[in-house]
Amino acid sequence: MAFSRDPLDELVVPDGTEAKEVDLVTDGDVLVGGRSTVEFGVRGRNVLAGEGVEFGGAIEAEGDCRLDMWCDVAENVLVGQDAYIGERVHVSGEMKVAGDLDIGDDVEIDEGFEANGWIVIRNPMPTIVFLFVYLKHLLLIGEDETAQKLVSEIVDEDEKIETEPLVIPQNATVSDDAWRVSTPATIGDDCRLHGNVRAETIDVGTDTTIFGSLRARGDVTVGSGTRIHGDLTTRKGDVTIDGDARILGDVSCADLEIGPEAEIDGTIRANGEITMGTTEREPE
């Protein structure tokens, strides 16, 4: 897992992520920037959330869970290892922790909590804030190797976890209706998501299905085999639709490049050039 910039300056949906009924499910970690609203529950390896994040469902973390102050969770919190809960966090359900629980002041857990390890009542350091500020500082002064070493220790590379984290930037809104961010968005391969995606730029991988539209200020790329069940619109950017991708709606953009077997079911509005791809000829 390598960082070349602020880790929370982009929406990143890793390969294989699915929106299953009321939960976002991923094999890797889940990182949520401060003051974001996630109307789903989340299920992943480690779950880390910044200050003031709202979760509309349960949290299930195979590893650790760290919630900074003022977070609100609408259902249960189930943690496979240790939990670090900042002050004034509210959990509407119950909290079960297989390891140690480090908990701050004025935390409300409506249906009670239990931990198999130590329970320490204090104000844990806002880990996610410290982590990203420190990483950003290291990158600004050119200490890329030190930053990479820190990240490696955090994600425990000895366990050979290769899945990149699900990253939701600060002030984002993620729901069954829409994914709204003011940053670029990268959606991986073999994902299945519900909701319209709104971002600065959008890059969708291969064989992904999105039940919603795509709208960006800049460029939009759709990988081969992907299905977009909605319109694709960009204000000033170009659109590239690779391979046999299919857009079940209208496309509006500047320049448009269409793969050899790509399909657009609706109307095309391109202010610039439209380039039609051709199937490569096999060498004689």
pLDDT tens readout for residues 193-230? 999 999 999 999 999 999 999 999 999 999 999 999 99
Q: How far apart are CA 71 and CA 57, in angstroms?
A: 13
| Dihedral sign of CA atoms 165, 70, 77, 18 in order | negative
- When the pLDDT of each residue in the chain is averaged and rounded to a whole number, the result is 87
pLDDT tens readout for residues 89-127? 999 999 999 999 999 889 999 999 999 999 988 765 555
Query: By C-alpha distance, which of 212, 59, 193 is closest to 85?
Result: 59
Q: What is the three-class DSSP state of 152?
A: helix
Domain ranges across the chain: 9-175, 184-276
Q: How far apart are CA 51 and CA 134, in angstroms?
A: 16
pLDDT tens readout for residues 67-87? 999 999 999 999 999 999 999
pLDDT of residue 138: 55
Query: By C-alpha distance, which of 241, 246, 205 is closest to 228?
Result: 246
Q: How far apart are CA 170 and CA 219, in angstroms?
A: 22
pLDDT of residue 184: 97
pLDDT tens readout for residues 15-54? 999 998 789 999 999 999 999 999 999 999 999 999 999 9
Local confidence band at 8 (pLDDT 50, 70, 90 cut-offs):
confident
Instruction: Give residue for tokens 């096999």.
Output: 282
pLDDT tens readout for residues 136-175? 555 666 666 665 665 555 555 444 445 788 999 999 999 9
pLDDT of residue 158: 44
Buried b (16+ CB within 10 A) or exposed e, 160-181: ebebbbbbbbbebbbbbebbbb
